[in-house]
Amino acid sequence: MAIKANLIVDQGSSFVTTLALTDSNDDPINLNLYTFSGQIRKHYTSSNSTSFTITGDGNTGVLTLSLSANSTANLVAGRYLYDIEITETSSSNITRVVEGIVTVTPNVTR
């Protein structure tokens, strides 16, 4: 089951956050065995999405999620939904590891 984590993204600014993934023994998950994907959508059924850039550190189990300033500038201020999935490369098993609400705060400076 995915953990719930809400994010705040400043419109027009670069965004970076990290997520540490551990197994049931609290040991870091070897992320070298996975690929990653994650998107932001206004609603579950929205056809438009913004994708996170995701990198994983295989030794520490830390995923880094990022959005460029250009990507966040194209998001209208408001509430969105997101989730992050990891796919095991050997079996193609997909696991949703985190999900939640993204609040995009408006910017004034242009």
pLDDT digit string (tens) for 24-57? 899 999 999 999 999 999 999 999 999 999 999 9
Assess if residue 110 is contained within a domain: no
CA diameter of the chain = 47
CATH of the domain at 9: 2.60.40.10
Residue 51 CA to residue 41 CA, distance in Å, equals 9
Helix runs in the chain, H state only: 69-73
What pTM does this model have? 0.91
Tell me the C-alpha distance between 38 and 43, whole Å: 14
Q: Could you list the residue range(s) of the whole structural domain that residue 28 is in? A: 3-105
In a domain, 9, yes or no: yes
| 32 in a structural domain | yes
Local confidence band at 2 (pLDDT 50, 70, 90 cut-offs): confident
Q: What is the CA radius of gyration of the chain?
A: 15
Q: Is 38 helix (H, G, I), strand (E, B) or coil?
A: strand
Asked if residue 20 belongs to a domain, the reply is yes
Q: What's residue 23's pLDDT?
A: 87
